[in-house]
Structure 1
Amino acid sequence: MPSRSILKLNAASTLPFYAVILLWGFGSGLLTPVLPLYARSLGFSIEGWGLLVTVYAASTFIFEWMWGALSDRVDRRAFIAAGLLSGAGLIYLYTLEAFTPLLYALQFVRGATFIMVGPAVKALVSDLNHGGIGLSMGLYSSVRRLGSVIGPVVGTLIEETWSYQSALLVYAAVYLVGALLTVVIPRAQTHVGEGKSSGILEDAMALFRIRSILILFAVPVIVYMGNTVIGSYLPIYAQEIVGMSTVGVGALISVGNVAGLLTTPIFGWLSDRHGKASVVLACFLLSTAAMFGISLTASPLQLTVSLVLFTMCFSPLTPLLLAMLSDA
């Protein structure tokens, strides 16, 4: 009986943390359809939007590993709060006409600072887990994806009712609330390691000397490229080529996220029985075929079916790769 009461206490104490994860997922989901369509409304060409995406991706690549390493040495809650605050503040600047010529610079800064949320959240999931790391990671993934299911529809509804700027302001407000909630997240003890303390670069070099881990780090590059292509260009493709409304685009992305939410546990179960590498390979091949199918769609129904098939196979890749990294 005492252990049951302790479990209830632990669950209650981590509730604010999962509320932050839900808000984080909601904001990301809201931004997925709204930001590319907003950029197009400002007059950015497809090439210009592609450059904005590239600038953001490059800055996340440069800074994410550094924030992850630093979060091992400092209170992770500070990184989550700082990342959410930077996301809120910079997106607010996106709504101001005076900052439109500076969007490329803002994209770089937003990528460099907002990316600190991800590594800190994932590490804190591990630090605060009380029912097993598998359960904690599964709960994290489900809560974040739940937010990403709600966000696209809410964001596009706000845009059609008021404006793109209004949707972006809601995004900023949600992340301000998330940053405030980090104050009540339980503090977890971080461990750099026993004995002699090593530097961040030394830790990174030691990690990359492990061949299996080096290969595993190369694979997510392909996953990230696929995710960037779909997330960045699908809203524009759906609206300008297929002819969907703004709310229709939001609903399309939400339906895709629901498909990923439902199938990720199934592929996890299959990986336990048939091997993670085999399931990852199958997911890659099936999602590649589905992506090719997306490029051939000519109606909202065809696009919806193709996207559902894509997310069913693509969404499990990240948790499966994280599990393979843990095994390595």
Structure 2
Amino acid sequence: MPQPAVATESRSALSLVMGPGLYRRALVSLFFAGLGMSVALPQLSLFLVQDLHASLPVAGLFFLTNLAAPVLGFVVGRWSDRLTDRLTLFRVGAVVGLLGWVVMALSTQVWMAFVVNLTVLGFAAATGSLVFAAVRDQLTHVPTGADNRVMSTVRLGFSLGFMSGPLVGSVLGGLVGLRLTLVAAGLCTLVQVVPLVRQRVPRAVPEQARGSSRGRGGSSAGLAPLLTFLGLGVLAMCGDTIRLAYLPIYMELQLGTPDWLRGAVISTQSLAMVVFIPLAGVLADRYGAQRVVVVCVLLGVGANLGFAVADSELVLVAATVLHAIMWAALGGIGITVAQDLYPQGIGMASSLYFSALRFAAGIGGVVGAVGVGWFGVPGVFTIPAALCVVTAAGLVAMALAARRRRARASRTAVS
């Protein structure tokens, strides 16, 4: 049932989220979701090579299965927008996710792992995004005036889990082997249901969407702004794959960075995001989420140019902090921008947004592989810098077009 109204003027977003009710349960659920994902991800390539005897090029192709994520995101989103309570589908997806990781752990052929990630785990990942749709439903039922702050604080749960997973996965891999580590990832995927097992949040259609939608899933034509935003977001976000793939190589081969410092530079982004995600929510509630995203994407240009010209680890740390600010905006409040662009289909917006994150990882692998052949390392980082410029310009163009449409609608209403 919806929670009683909350006066956010006298309470911080953190106290609102940490109070009893949906928001705290969603934060805990997302912690386990992030933990399960990051326990497995760093170990998958090793699992493919050591246990399934895949070649290195084939192991690299594995993550191209993420390119199918938008298809599953569309299916799950449309399905959830026709349900009374989206969390029912979320629970089904968590069980499917457990089965998927168990099947992955039992795989004996490389093609089996590819198929599982493409279908079963892809479906589970898409349903995981419905937690954010349920949070938005609750914010619609009980307005707080702090939507971005609430959403970004809840999103922080996933980030904290995602930060913890690589260490847990490495320890488990050494103690019990890679196959049981994948099973552990599946258990975390299932455990994310526990905080929300009895939670019910009726599906809501925001007031501004009721006159322009069919009430169940919305209009396909209305998807254009959302898809444009997601496409532009993918251009900016794909640079993270390039950063993770080639920044360690640059530090090792050209800067001679010691192992401990190399790890510290890479992990700076995760630590910085814990600070910047809540801050992005505060700024978004004050200045507007789309404006904050545009500014932060422009900082992403500086980050990638910093990677390209850095001659010391200190410069790389500064560039990584800028990159973290961009990701705090895209990962923390980008979801609210997506939901605002398609209010008649909150489930669709949420699932497509998080499917775009997976899609961006696949695109980043392709762009990085081609770009490093053309420009080498660190020149390859000029490509994500240019893509961030395109993203920022596109977002500004979207905002101006929306403003013109509102002006025309106002003139029509007056006449």
TM-score (norm 2): 0.62
> Which of 216, 226, 232 pairs up with 2:239?
226
Cα deviation for residue 262 of structure 1 reads 0.9
- Is 1:88 the counterpart of 2:98 in the alignment? yes
**Mean Cα displacement is larger for which, 166-175 or 126-135?**
126-135
1:162-201 equivalent positions in 2, closer than 5 A: 162-184=176-198, 186-191=199-204, 197=214, 200=217
- Is 1:154 the counterpart of 2:163 in the alignment? no
Contact 1:26 1:151 in 2 (8 A): yes
Which digits, 9 at most, give the CA deviation of each residue in 1:44-98, with x for residues without a partner? Answer: 445323321111x222111102211211222211221222222222122222252
CA 1:133–1:223: 2 relative to 1, 3 Å: same
Cα deviation for residue 35 of structure 1 reads 2.2
Match for residue 64 of structure 1? 73
1:276-287 equivalent positions in 2, closer than 5 A: 279-287=292-300
1:310-321 equivalent positions in 2, closer than 5 A: 310-321=323-334
Which digits, 9 at most, give the CA deviation of each residue in 1:270-317, with x for residues without a partner? Answer: 556666555434433433443465578899988766544432333322
1:71-150 equivalent positions in 2, closer than 5 A: 71-74=80-83, 75-129=85-139, 130=142, 131=144, 132-150=146-164
Q: Structure 2: give runs of 5+ residues left out of the alignment.
A: 7-14, 342-401, 403-415
CA 1:170–1:313: 2 relative to 1, 3 Å: same
Contact 1:60 1:111 in 2 (8 A): no
CA 1:134–1:321: 2 relative to 1, 3 Å: closer
State the alpha-carbon separation in 2 of the partners of residues 34 and 253 from structure 1: 17
Cα deviation for residue 199 of structure 1 reads 6.6
1:178 counterpart letter in structure 2: Q
Contact 2:100 2:116 in 1 (8 A): yes
Q: Which has the larger radius of gyration?
A: 2
Which digits, 9 at most, give the CA deviation of each residue in 1:130-174, with x for residues without a partner? Answer: 544233202211222111122222112222333222322221121
> Which of 202, 206, 210 pairs up with 2:222?
206
CA 1:81–1:61: 2 relative to 1, 3 Å: same
* Secondary structure at 2:201 match in 1: coil
Match for residue 35 of structure 1? 44
* Secondary structure at 2:108 match in 1: helix
* Secondary structure at 1:315 match in 2: helix
Cα deviation for residue 254 of structure 1 reads 5.0
**Mean Cα displacement is larger for which, 167-176 or 297-306?**
297-306
Query: RMSD value over aligned CA atoms?
Result: 4.1
Q: Structure 1: give runs of 5+ residues left out of the alignment.
A: none
1:61 counterpart letter in structure 2: P
* Secondary structure at 1:116 match in 2: helix
State the alpha-carbon separation in 2 of the partners of residues 235 and 44 from structure 1: 25
- Is 1:12 the counterpart of 2:20 in the alignment? yes
Cα deviation for residue 108 of structure 1 reads 0.8
Equivalenced residue count is 318
1:59 counterpart letter in structure 2: A
